[in-house]
Amino acid sequence: MFTGKNIVLGVTGGIAAYKACEVVSRLKKLGAEVDVIMTENATKLVAPLTFETLSCRPVCVDTFSRTESWDVKHISLAQKADLFVVAPATANLMAKLAHGIADDMLSTTLLATKAPILLAPAMNTGMWTATATQENLRTLQNRGVHTVGPASGFLACGDTGAGRMSEPVQIVEEIQRLLTLKADMDGLKVLVTAGPTVERIDPVRYLTNDSSGKMGFAIAQAAIDRGAEVTVLCGNVHISPPSQAKIVRVQSTQDLYDAMMKHCDEQDVIIQAAAPADYRVKEIAPEKIKKQDGAAMVLELVENPDVAKAVGQRKHSGQTLVGFAAETENLLENAERKLTKKNLDLIVANDVSQEGAGFGVDTNIVSLLTKNGLEQLPLMKKQEVAHRILDKVIQLRADN
């Protein structure tokens, strides 16, 4: 099943390191080549010889050790990997990867790799739920790092809760899923819009909305994983964009419009998940507006360009256009109207009033509406929603 696949397995110093032996054993039985990199702390829990025996290859621990070959080991392993797995992944390893710290063989190789990364976190519940760990997790996931687990249960430290490393069989299933990800967007140029726009009022104030960019970045990452060349037109977001995408930063809806007009003609697929402001102030005040002794402040707003509509008017044959509809009422009626008005092939109807859907959260609840049908999806992670949208795009392109 994994014949010809090179998997690099990082093992960090958590008690679950002993379970990583079974991961190696299962991968070998399925035909994979496995190279193991251990941290110094991991070697205190499991002897490198165990992994050497199971993987039939030398285990790397020390960045500066002399090896039988002349290649720079951390670079050659980083390049060789079809998939880089870290099991167990401690809070420390996740923090290092999130912040680009490379101070041992494992963190150095991880930072250098372009291969997909899968982490199987394992730690005490308090460490797992700590704000720092959760923020690092979000940063990594937003960059496209995959995770499996952790599960909940009895932990080696005596606590009960989330933090148990997933079982080796589940980790291997996830490895299989990642290694068989479709490459059905190979050679396609995909443009994704993400995040909110910012409409200045004066030098210190602006109008905006709650879009975080998570939905757009999830789509961009999914398209990259499926082989597309991805450009992201990115509003004012505070999370890291996918590292393999071309990022074009925009502030206002007018900026988004200008960037879109520059890039849209060369794209095969355009997916507009951004939340551009529909209005801007007519005149941006050159100085900070002063309070008026209790009098109301009146801002005159004028309509912004409708970027999706403009793209729809320029649509050329072979191009697939996808929009979103963020609604709080009459979801499907409004979405259908936007599908037609903006000349879209697919609209992702998003009832943003539902819990777990829409702005800021990691999940979404959407319906995929085309001229020929409707598919209603349950609550899913934005990463899964992204793949379902791309599945539909591929289907639409095949039908045309």
Q: Which residues in the 238-257 window bind ligand PMT by CB under 6 A?
A: 253
Q: Is 383 in the site for ligand PMT (CB under 6 A)?
A: no
Catalogue the active-site residues.
Answer: 157
Residue (20 or 191) nearer to ligand PMT, CB = 191
Residue (38 or 250) nearer to ligand PMT, CB = 250
Residues 106 and 12: beta-carbon distance below 8 Å: yes
DSSP 301: E
Part in contact with ligand PMT (CB under 6 A); list of ranges 5-13, 19-27, 240-248, 273-281: 273-281
Query: b or e along 187-214 (b: 16 or more beta carbons within 10 Å of the residue's beta carbon)?
Result: ebbbbbbbbbbbbbbeeeebbbbebbbb
Question: Rounded to an integer, what distance in angstroms lies between the CA atom of residue 152 and that of residue 158?
Answer: 13
Angle at 84 between CA 78 and CA 86, to 5 degrees: 120
Site mask for ligand PMT (CB under 6 A), range 330-359, x = bound: --------x-----------x-x-----xx
Residues 396 and 320: beta-carbon distance below 8 Å: yes
Q: Work out the number of other CB atoms within 10 angstroms of the CB of residue 387.
A: 20
Residue from 20, 36, 97, 308 in contact with ligand PMT (CB under 6 A): 308
Q: Is 258 in the site for ligand PMT (CB under 6 A)?
A: no
Reduce the DSSP state of residue 154 to 3 states and report it: strand
Q: Is 321 in the site for ligand PMT (CB under 6 A)?
A: no
Size of the site for ligand PMT (CB under 6 A): 29
Part in contact with ligand PMT (CB under 6 A); list of ranges 5-13, 65-73, 95-103, 212-220: 212-220
Minimum distance from residue 355 beta carbon to ligand PMT (Å): 14
Is residue 150 reached through a cis peptide bond, with omega within 30 degrees of 0 on the bond before it? Answer: yes
Residues that bind ligand PMT (CB under 6 A): 193, 195, 211-216, 253, 272-276, 278, 304, 306-308, 323-326, 338, 350, 352, 358-360
